[in-house]
């Protein structure tokens, strides 16, 4: 089985679920819960509980929150390679969920913003492995050098590489052209429909995926409740699968991360794209069936 090395963000998610429409400049009753988060750490956690050998490289604060997040990752079975930052706190994301289920994130990267090339353990970069790089690492200027170094180390080691786009708003602020230039060595790109539009200007996800194959041999676009599609070079049409059915959507936070963790092992194992997409959709359906972005133990 291919070992996956994830380089990315470690966060604590403070999820506030409003019971009523938001009362601007006043109070709105809500249910507030705390969970482990961060796209990279989420993906590593889902991979580990599903049986993949996975290491996570990141940075945490020298605080109780950081220690708890570190222990959580080890509890999932992740080989957590976390550097402790003596000055910055562990990253935090406030996830505001309206009474209709719409989510808005307010993120403070904290120690994530200081990830450096020196934080990357050389022993994890070896031929036959796979690197998955969180786009947040590249989008955040403070950790960009670490992301670029990880891509170069993976290339030199002969590792396969996948990259995700992370979030549409910061991706748009960074710019499509720089992001595509930084990541064009990757074999596989993950994006959702909004992120694909930012990168290509195309509203249609299939058309956007086709454009993106000019930079990446394979592209996956996540379509939320419509499933996901895969597009590869030299294919006339994309392959699309529907979303897996769920009895009740509890929390959509981290569904895209779970999808990535479901897709990657099947893809790395040489399974057909449709099978890998179905595996991703299945894991995403499990993620949205409970609170928080991480697996339940």
Is residue 260 within 8 A of residue 164, CB to CB? The reply is: yes
What confidence score (pLDDT) does residue 158 get? Answer: 96
Name the fold adopted by 4-10+39-90+109-287: 3.40.1190
* pLDDT at residue 292 tops 90: no
- pLDDT confidence of 229, banded at 50, 70, 90? very high
Q: Which of 118, 127, 5 is nearest to 55 (CA)?
A: 5
Mean pLDDT confidence for 28-56: 96
* pLDDT at residue 188 tops 90: yes
Distance, CA of 264 to CA of 133 (rounded, Å):
12
Q: pLDDT higher for 235 or 75?
A: 75
CA 271 from chain centre, in angstroms, equals 21
Mean pLDDT confidence for 31-58: 96
> What is the CA angle 17-18-22, rounded to 5?
145
* pLDDT at residue 297 tops 80: no
* pLDDT at residue 251 tops 80: no
Task: List C-alpha distances in Å: 37 to 21, 50, 66, 94, 269.
Answer: 26, 18, 11, 10, 27
- pLDDT confidence of 249, banded at 50, 70, 90? confident
Domain boundaries along the sequence of the chain: 4-10+39-90+109-287
Predicted model pTM: 0.94
What confidence score (pLDDT) does residue 247 get? Answer: 80
> What is the CA angle 177-182-185, rounded to 5?
120
Distance, CA of 19 to CA of 246 (rounded, Å):
22
- pLDDT confidence of 1, banded at 50, 70, 90? confident
Mean pLDDT confidence for 167-181: 96
pLDDT tens track for 60-95? 999 999 999 999 999 999 999 999 999 999 999 998
> What is the CA angle 17-19-23, rounded to 5?
100
Mean pLDDT confidence for 37-63: 97
């Amino acid at each position: 089985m291919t070992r996956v090395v994830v380089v990315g963000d470690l966060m604590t998610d403070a999820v506030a679920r409003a019971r009523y429409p938001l009362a601007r400049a006043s109070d709105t009753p809500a249910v507030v819960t705390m969970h482990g988060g961060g796209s990279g750490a989420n993906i590593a956690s889902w991979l580990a509980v599903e049986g993949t050998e996975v290491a996570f490289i990141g940075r945490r604060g020298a605080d109780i929150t950081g220690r708890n997040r570190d222990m959580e990752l080890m509890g999932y079975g992740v080989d957590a390679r976390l550097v402790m930052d003596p000055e910055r706190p562990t990253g935090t994301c406030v996830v505001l969920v309206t009474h209709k289920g719409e989510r808005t994130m307010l993120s403070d990267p904290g120690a994530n913003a200081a990830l450096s090339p020196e934080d990357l353990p050389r022993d994890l970069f070896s031929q036959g492995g796979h690197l998955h790089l969180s786009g947040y690492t590249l989008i955040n200027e403070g950790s960009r050098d670490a992301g670029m170094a990880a891509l170069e180390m993976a290339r030199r080691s002969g590792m396969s590489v996948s990259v995700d786009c992370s979030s549409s708003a910061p991706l748009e602020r960074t710019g499509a052209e720089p992001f595509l230039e930084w990541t064009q060595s990757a074999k596989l790109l993950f994006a959702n429909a909004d992120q694909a539009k930012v990168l290509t200007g195309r509203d249609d996800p299939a058309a956007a995926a086709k454009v993106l194959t000019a930079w990446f041999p394979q592209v996956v676009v996540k379509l939320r409740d419509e499933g996901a599609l895969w597009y590869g070079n030299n294919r006339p049409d994309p392959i699309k699968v529907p979303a897996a059915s769920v009895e009740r959507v509890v929390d959509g936070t981290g569904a895209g991360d779970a999808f990535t963790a479901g897709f990657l092992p099947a893809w790395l194992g040489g399974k057909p794209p449709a099978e890998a997409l179905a595996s991703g959709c299945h894991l995403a359906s499990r993620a949205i069936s409970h609170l928080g972005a991480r697996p339940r133990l």
